[in-house]
Structure 1
Amino acid sequence: MKLDLSCPTCGSDDIMKNGRTRRGKQNHKCRDCGRQFVEDPQWKQKDKNTIGLVKLLLLEKIPLAGIVRAVGVSASWLQNYVNKYYQQVEQQAEVVPKEKGKLTVQMDELWSFVDNKGNKQWVWLAIDARTREIIGCKIGDRSRTSAKQLWDSLPGVYKQCAKVYTDMWEAYEKVVPSKRHFAVGKETGLTSYIERLNNTLRQRISRLVRKTLSFSKKLENHIGAIWNFIHEYNQQIRKKMGIA
């Protein structure tokens, strides 16, 4: 008796029964290509539209549990996908090349945590005050070492000739060249763009909200989520500049 099935790999209808799986489901085998499969499997490969929607929602202020409900995927599948996806996110800002000249940078650090509020993780950021591009980022503690890593993450042209405005945090004084470093208060407005960016991050990344149930449990995912947003943010900046 010929089975009314077709092979999911080659499309052949020359299918035979081939025992049962460990979960008791009838197993089938394609006589043409040898593919084994079950009818109506519990696990199905996600289509491109589903993957695309998940990627878009990861850029919004939606917890993973909310994405599960909105997209209709399982929590275990989504967590596994997110773990792999964030591992692949590049941790270096893509910045439009600049020539040497009058460049202005604003820097600030943003408090966050992973797993519990005792595990503080500071998000150090630097932006180009003219284009608003994020040109550097470091996630770590609030030490001079992290400030140095932020400085090192900047494209060379900024380290060579940019004026740098920061708050009064002492770590900057030991890292940024003194002739081009200006420690200022909020009332001056000279760090207003980076402060506005901090607010944007808290509005768009649920992991960074001060009182949240969507906090990161893995440092790798915390870092990956922030860099994922940085790349999207800079891409939108480039579109406004007519470059992307």
Structure 2
Amino acid sequence: MPACPICASSQTVKNGRIHNGKQRFKCHECGRQFVEHPQKKVIDQNTREWIDRLLLERISLAGIARVAQVSEQWLQSYVNQKYAQVPRQVQVTPKKRGLTIQCDELWSFVDHKGNKQWVWLALDADTREIVGVYIGTRDETAARQLWNSLPPVYRQCAVAYTDFWAAYAAVLPNKRHRAVGKETGKTSYVERFNNTLRQRVSRLVRKTLSFSRSLENHIGAIWYFVHYYNASLLV
């Protein structure tokens, strides 16, 4: 009889068969039931936490599966579940008046380059926190969704610096909207964050084989990194 994989006891007996007909054993010492040479790998908590960190780096899912030594099928299922649970609302520190935000749009795509998905971002110029996010088309409706994603204090008080894209002028309050060119430096922080996103989220690299095939996962991956980025500013 095979030894118990938990306590190494040789006091084991046959104990029926599992669903695929393979012999099951039971240990008299610790009570563990097991099969010899199991094919299904148990992914422990340490490996899951490691994968969570790898998802924040510019690594494809296939690369993560190779490094973590898990199957791509299991990893895809794990990622689907994780991204579905990511909150789709910013979590920022409390603010008062005198706020300034910078807004910009980042091009991306899902499945093929014809399916464009623009990442709209609003960044607090003082704290560098991402305070607004929307992923979708590049039109007035999307600009309004970005505006609605801002915490109330920003919609009430903040001065917003943007480029000259017409959708901003149609949505943002006229008295608090400043359309400026890149040479002013008034949108430099959010433009720099765009570069950070492309460097850290592999599905946003311009020429990539790691592009998203699911819009939900595309959105989830971006929100996952945004929450991590905001939290890192507090450390």
Structure 2-normalised TM-score? Answer: 0.92
Structure 1: runs of 5 or more not aligned: 240-244
- Given candidates 178, 196, 205, the residue that maps to 1:182 is 178
Residue 193 in 1 paired to residue 204 in 2? no
Aligned letter for 2:200? R
CA distance in 2, matches of 1:41, 1:61: 33
CA distance in 1, matches of 2:140, 2:159: 19
CA distance in 1, matches of 2:187, 2:202: 24
How high is the sequence identity, in percent, across the aligned residues? 63
Partner of 1:124: 120
Q: How far apart are residue 34 of structure 1 and its match?
A: 8.5
Structure 1-normalised TM-score? Answer: 0.88
CA distance in 1, matches of 2:9, 2:169: 70
Q: Give me the CA root mean square deviation.
A: 2.2
Residue 137 in 1 paired to residue 133 in 2? yes
Report 1:227-242 matches (<5 A).
227-239=223-235
Q: How far apart are residue 105 of structure 1 and its match?
A: 0.4
Structure 1's consecutive aligned runs of 4 or more residues displaced over 4 angstroms after TM superposition are 3-8, 10-15, 29-36
CA distance in 1, matches of 2:28, 2:219: 48
What are the superposed Cα offsets for residues 108-153 of structure 1, whole Å, 9 maximum, x if unpaired? Answer: 0100000000111000000000110000100111121111111011
Q: Assess if the C-alpha contact under 8 Å between 2:124 and 2:130 holds in 1.
A: yes
Q: Assess if the C-alpha contact under 8 Å between 2:108 and 2:116 holds in 1.
A: yes
Partner of 2:52: 55
Structure 2: runs of 5 or more not aligned: none
Q: How far apart are residue 99 of structure 1 and its match?
A: 1.3
Residue 154 in 1 paired to residue 150 in 2? yes
Partner of 1:226: 222
CA distance in 2, matches of 1:65, 1:181: 43
Aligned length: 235
Q: SS at the partner of 1:105?
A: strand
Aligned letter for 1:27? R
CA distance in 2, matches of 1:69, 1:20: 32
- Given candidates 81, 87, 90, the residue that maps to 1:90 is 87
